[in-house]
Chain A
Amino acid sequence: MAHAYTPGLKVVETALVRKQRRLPLAGEVLVEKGDKVKALDVVARTFLPGNVETVNVANKLGMPPEDIPKYMLVEEGTQIEEGQVIARMKQLFGLFTSKAASPVKGTVETVSNITGQVIVREPPMAVSVTAYIDGDVVDVVGSEGVDVECVGTFVQGIFGIGGEAYGEVKTVASGPRDVLAPEDIGPECEGKIILGGSLATAAALKKAIAVGAVGVIAGGFHDRDLRDFLGFDLGVAITGHETLGVTLVVTEGFGEMPMAEATFELLACCEGMFASINGATQIRAGVIRPEIIIPRPGEIMAKVGAEEEDESNLEVGSRVRVIREPYFGKLGEVTSLPVELQVLESESKVRVLGVKFDAGGKDVIPRANVELIESGRR
């Protein structure tokens, strides 16, 4: 296969970032093309059909289903209140009365003379979407949402938990190799997005929640801590719906992993700036990566999100990062790209590359086990 390597994640200082903000179904768009919006502004809203409750009227009245229309007090489409009697039957000249009441407020949707069930739909639920980033509305997507664009710093993580969050960046680690410990996090982190170094421990995350921090960014996170923190072993990597009180964005992987220096320096430079982050990750078809967006009006260097991405090729001299044991996390430079397949220690026969590590030493490793590092991409 021509492209055997994994393209890296984006780490861009100033990029044109475009985000589509869409309702789950058609509704009302509250802004217009050209409007300036803030991250927390509501840009569109709609009403989802309410939940439904079924009332087994035939059972409650003790009659065959085909007879229930005769005893219904309300018709399909009628608005009813919680506890309102919707069917009644008098027996023995009115001495005994059987009745069925609605358990919820809502609308009678169907009355079935086959099953004897009445379906009551609760009032619609309001759903809205915010702009997510400070920027401009550049497109309106029918009655479903908008595209919001900003110029800013854009960093993709490899894994995250928790949904969208907003706050100022606060650098707590002194460098990309620092482990973020609970004692590093104080009351000054309230409402902030904490920048850590190589590892965020479960204890540090708990402390972040305790002081009211909204997000944590770190190079690595231990799987065992993830289990302890979530309370279960995460099976399938589809995250973003957790409501643990903090959003975590991991930039490198599992374990203690120094954050890539370029990533750390870039984020550290954004100290005090307002950022939007999202831990939502989907490692499946339709891959979604966690992200950090920091609006910074200025010169545009790359486009992200809206435009087609170019594929880049490995070349001798390319900067790479190893993404599998035994050299996980090491940086280096490609020294050779042999065409022939080579046999590894595991006896697998694969395409390889020669690499000279920045920290000294060299080896031959599978092409599939490196990520390309280049400007605008890590």
Chain B
Amino acid sequence: MELSDVKTILATDCGSTTTKAILIKKEGDEYRLQVRGEAPTTVEKPAEDVTRGVLNAVGEVEELTGRKLIADHKVLVAEGKDEGVDIYMSTSSAGGGLQMMVAGVVKTMTAESAQRAALGAGAIVMDVLASNDGRLPHQKIEAIRRLRPDMILLSGGIDGGTISHVVELAELIGAADPRPRFGAGFQLPVIYAGNKVARPIIEGTLGEKTSLYVVDNIRPVLERENLGPARNEIHNLFMEHVMAQAPGYSKLMSWTAVPIMPTPAAVGAIIQTIAEREGFEVIGVDIGGATTDIFSVFQKVFNRTVSANLGMSYSISNVLAEAGLPDIIRWVPFPKSQLDERDLRDRIRNKMIRPTTIPQTLTELVIEQAIAREALRLAFVQHKELAVGLKGIQQERTISDAFTQTMTGETLVNMLTLDMLVGSGGTLSHAPRRVQAALMLIDGFRPEAVTFLAVDSIFMMPQLGVLSTVMPDAATQVFERDCLVRLGSCVAPVGNGKKGQTCLKITADWPGRGHVEEEVKYGEMARLPLAVDERVKARLDPVRPFDLGHGKGQTLEAELEGGVAGVIFDCRGRPLNLPQDETARVDALQRWLAALDVYPNHGSSEAA
């Protein structure tokens, strides 16, 4: 069947706890989501067969649509018929996803490139080995043995350069005699993507002890990264070695029309597709129970990071450990006297040990969303540190560069040029009020100037990602029409001023309000309703010293886009500093929450 003839598409995502299925149908010229179903993932005991969870989730879709989708205990693919689907595909992060170690000669150069290659392929990077990472050889060997990754990516040296360091790393890997996580009788896959001159020696060192694959150098010259071949090999090996060993996956692989993708790689694929089509600079975030993934496209460069221990259930205690209780409490709009620290710590731990529970009271919701802000902030700090330009390269400087003193390896993330910020994951997608998701994104990421905010309605980006690899038009249509919940534009001037001074003047013809001339003071937030798909051409005048990207006090003519949260004007300043004084902090939070109508009763409920 030609892909253009495909009318029904079934896609599943086997997550670590839940398997989600979506059914997409072509209506006229457009692909639209029909229904979704979900069921617990069944990779672990007692079932130990991923296909059982898949069939349960698909069974729910079957019930909801009345269309027969399962036959002979498998997904029914029946091209062009009234039953079954034309094409079936899947992503997976079950069983801990893809876990890798990477190695490179210089920590900030080839090792960092290797890390970017692995992360971009959807892996969790367990450790980064480098010749200069400060560890002694036996400590590196101990780390390789202890962590038992699914595979190792070894890089190092530019083509034709020195080989001794990368060979030394290979010798350490060989000495560790590593064993893979799955499949006791199998050799560990090692991908060599370093100096091509060293290939024969690497083959001699690792050829017998590991399952060695050689691809093009990820850093053939200092000035250029070549991550594609290594990423493709990671995907191939993920299918051949990791997935094939996981319970039930051989069966699942035989059902799918396209290779099973690691979930984060699929999310990255849809984000890249959107960025390319729209010419956008974009950030996507998926805040899960165990991990927080951040994807970005800036200057057409795609980056992904995974913060393996920042999440809202399994990893919630680690957010507490990394952020510290004071940084969480600062987002809670009650005085500290109303919060018993010991009780709060116990509550957070109890969420960790019973991860599926949900906040019943408003206070619980407010606290959980405060923790989410810190998880997002910390994950974004990690992302900015890795989403950087290449380090150590020669730069051509003009006379103007001499004044800006830019250095190599600076972060590519530029909040002033960011067009779109998309959130997903339970905390954001299921927030009772959409404006809560908008404010969590704003507080976690601190967008600057004009940024459009959105959330993934039911977390279907993974399925759309794998779909985008074969049918990008269909994936984009569903993403635009059914996946994205448009929250609206956020306008945030950069700079800090004096309390009470005017920060921003807004002039526009606003739907339903006529000619609007509003002022927002420094330290305040405001919201103007603007419906989904409505747009307003606005004149935005930041008052000196504030800046909307065109210089301090310079006017910005911008098209603001509506959404379920309307247009948010965040004049709290950038960098965002919360008042240090306890009374002033609580007062400010209460004002902001009231201005945006974030919680009923401004977040007050049972005595906290």
Contact = CB atoms under 8 A, between A and B. Distances in A.
A336 interface: no
Contact of B95 (A3, A54, A285, A368): A285
Interface stretch (B225-233, B352-360, B476-484, B555-563): B352-360
Nearest to A310: B46
Contacts of B605: 345
B358 A326 contact: no
Contacts of B174: 110
Contacts of A51: 138, 141-142
Interface in A148-184: 158-159
A283 B314 contact: yes
B356 A53 contact: no
A366 B171 contact: no
A232 B96 CA distance: 26
A349 to B, nearest CB: 7
Contacts of B56: 2
A323 B350 CA distance: 8
Given A25-B179, A65-B164, A254 B138 contact: no
A323 B357 contact: yes
B365 A348 contact: yes
A52 B359 contact: no
Interface in B341-367: 341-343, 345-362, 364-365
Contacts of A119: 137, 171, 175
Nearest to A225: B342
B354 A6 contact: yes
A224 B168 contact: no
Contacts of A54: 137-138
A344 interface: yes
A94 to B, nearest CB: 30
Interface in B147-164: 163-164
Contact of A285 (B16, B164, B309): B16
Contacts of B551: none
Interface string B458-477: 00000000000000000000
A350 B356 CA distance: 13
A114 B168 CA distance: 8
A325 interface: yes
A234 B39 CA distance: 31
Contacts of B606: 326
B600 interface: yes
A224 B95 CA distance: 31
Given A54-B137, A110-B175, A346 B201 contact: no
Contact of B137 (A52, A328, A345): A52
B317 interface: yes
B360 A326 contact: yes
Contacts of B96: 284-286
* Residue among B94, B171, B290, B348 with most chain A CB within 10 A: B171
A283 B353 CA distance: 7
Contact of A347 (B46, B315, B354, B432): B432
A309 B46 contact: yes
A284 B124 CA distance: 14
Q: How large is the interface on A (under 10, 10 to 19, 20 to 34, 35 or more residues)?
A: 35 or more
A284 B354 contact: no
Interface stretch (B115-123, B318-326, B415-423, B573-581): B318-326
Nearest to B364: A325
Given A3-B40, A115-B171, A53 B360 contact: no
Contacts of A219: none
Contacts of B391: none
Interface string A217-255: 000001110100000111111000000000000000111
A361 B605 CA distance: 20
B: contact size bracket: 35 or more
B433 interface: yes
B171 A110 contact: yes
Nearest to B606: A326
Contacts of A283: 314, 352-353, 355
A117 interface: yes
A107 B357 CA distance: 55
A349 B432 contact: yes
A235 B318 contact: yes
A365 B360 CA distance: 7
B430 A115 contact: no
Contacts of A235: 309, 315, 317-318, 321-322
State the main secondary structure of chain B at its contact with A.
Answer: helix
Nearest to B430: A348
A318 interface: no
A113 to B, nearest CB: 10
Nearest to A157: B353
A112 interface: yes
B79 to A, nearest CB: 30
A115 B168 contact: yes
A325 B138 CA distance: 48
B345 A345 contact: no
Given A237-B317, A348-B358, A1 B353 contact: no
Contact of A6 (B345, B352, B356): B356
B18 interface: yes
Interface string A1-38: 11100100000000000000000010000000000000
A54 B315 CA distance: 38
A337 B16 CA distance: 28
Interface string A39-76: 00000000001011110000000000100000000000
A115 B164 contact: yes
A154 to B, nearest CB: 16
Contact of B359 (A3, A6, A284, A346): A346
A344 B357 contact: no
Contacts of B342: 222-224
Nearest to B365: A346
A237 B342 CA distance: 19
A223 B348 contact: yes
A115 B168 CA distance: 6
Interface string A91-134: 00000000000000000011010111101010000000000000
Contact of B168 (A117, A237, A369): A117
A348 B320 CA distance: 24
Contacts of A346: 359-362, 364-365, 432
A25 B346 CA distance: 39
Interface in A251-282: 253-255
Contact of A325 (B142, B322, B347): B347
A285 B46 contact: no
B38 interface: yes
A345 B353 contact: no
Nearest to A352: B360
B443 interface: no
B519 interface: no
Contacts of B138: 51-54
Interface in B558-608: 600, 605-606
Contact of A368 (B318, B353, B356, B365): B356
A237 B353 contact: yes
A362 interface: no
Contact of A254 (B46, B142, B349, B364): B349
Nearest to B341: A224
Nearest to B38: A1
Contacts of B18: 1
Interface of A: 1-3, 6, 25, 49, 51-54, 65, 109-110, 112, 114-117, 119, 121, 158-159, 222-224, 226, 232-237, 253-255, 283-287, 308-309, 323-326, 328, 344-350, 365-366, 368-369
16 contacts: A52-B137, A110-B174, A115-B167, A119-B175, A158-B354, A222-B342, A223-B317, A235-B317, A255-B343, A283-B314, A284-B290, A284-B314, A308-B47, A326-B606, A328-B350, A369-B360
Given A2-B39, A222-B342, A346-B360, 9 more contacts: A52-B175, A114-B201, A158-B354, A223-B345, A235-B315, A253-B349, A323-B354, A323-B357, A326-B606
Top 8 A-B residue pairs of the complex, sorted by shortest distance between their CB atoms: A235-B318, A347-B432, A255-B346, A254-B349, A233-B321, A346-B365, A308-B46, A254-B346
